[in-house]
Chain A
Amino acid sequence: MTEAQPVAGVPRRLLWSRAEVVSLRDDTPRVRSLTLAVADWPGHLAGQHVDVRLTAEDGYQAQRSYSIASPPEAPLLELTVETISDGEVSPYLTGELRPGDIFELRGPIGGYFVWSERQPGPLVLIGGGSGVVPLMAMLRHRAIAGPTQPALLVYSSRNWDEIIYRDELERLAAADPSLRIVHTLTRAQPQGWQGFRRRVDKAMLEELGVPALASPNLFICGPTPMVETAAQASVELGIDAARIKTERFGPSGG
């Protein structure tokens, strides 16, 4: 066996590790980021996820997947978790955990929905709600690696206060002329809002110049209907389907 490496596809046994909460940050009223120290973390690629496992005193276990928000270069792992009020895992992660607490996770997982600055071609990221989390890992990685290609983030939120990473996204765009960030607010808009106010659709991607990009890499993450619509629209706009990668989420089955 080769030694453990942080690259997808290399044989590596997937084991549960202990994650210690280092700090917590509220991103929106329903979303909290956890910064974690994970023993023997092998490193990851932007876009990968982890499985989190909670065990009750009676032995009952619940397991969920969460996208990694931190870039590969960060010394600590960051997860950004949306609270689902009747969920089994998210209310604990966002409401109960305190610095110093420990829980189990394993990863990094998934080698498909990943991006590296070494990948040639413009980057187009389309996110809905907390689907922005793996896309943020890509943008943070891009900022650290030094952008060599233009990037566009189209980010759909219900309203202004539910935009995750709003200030950081603004800073990233201000520091990097090759990065464009476009918000669409689907339910409510602040006074004087000039931006989009509908779900991501074909006309929006067309207006943003996506069809004119040469060989772009598209990453689409969000609720299933949003992902299907955006992926279908991209194909209709002439984007090579092999360059469109998607990740869907929604309420887990009962």
Chain B
Amino acid sequence: MSESDLQPLDGNAAAGLLGEMFWRDMTTATGICAGCGSEGPFAEARLFASAMGSVLRCPHCDNVLLRAARTPRGVWLDMQGFRSLTFTPTPDAN
């Protein structure tokens, strides 16, 4: 496969795909990892993306936080690697 365009490799880059489903920006959310309990911004998680789908991993313990794939039936999403997600308004988004 030749898909070596430079691409973002963290949670910032999942904003488009998740925006399709949630109609809001997910990257500013704070998540707690179900694997190690560490807390951090969604945008700072590590992204492994391909044409098939995306996997988001915890930067601390490598736990799979989120998996997303496009299937013939629609977009499939597994977020069980997050214990929780907190959404706080940013100064620019009241």
Residues in A lying within 8 Å of B, measured CB to CB? 7-14, 45, 49, 51, 62, 64-65, 82, 84, 86-90, 106-107, 109-114, 116, 118-119, 130, 224, 245-254
Contact = CB atoms under 8 A, between A and B. Distances in A.
Contacts of B63: none
Contacts of A253: 3, 48-50
Contacts of B24: 9-11
Which range contains the number of B residues in contact with the other chain? 35 or more
Contact of B92 (A88, A107, A111, A130): A111
Interface of B: 1-13, 15-16, 19-20, 23-25, 27-28, 41-44, 48-51, 89-94
The dominant DSSP class at the A interface is: loop
25 contacts: A7-B94, A8-B28, A9-B89, A9-B90, A10-B93, A13-B23, A49-B8, A62-B51, A64-B7, A65-B7, A88-B2, A89-B5, A109-B15, A111-B28, A111-B92, A246-B10, A248-B10, A249-B6, A249-B8, A250-B6, A251-B7, A252-B5, A252-B7, A253-B3, A253-B49
Given A11-B23, A112-B12, A250-B9, A87 B43 contact: no
B16 A86 contact: no
A166 to B, nearest CB: 20
A8 B49 contact: no
Nearest to B47: A248
Contacts of B48: 253
B73 to A, nearest CB: 18
Contact of A119 (B10, B19, B91): B91
Contact of B16 (A87, A106, A114, A119): A106
Contacts of A249: 6-9
Contact of A251 (B6, B42, B93): B6
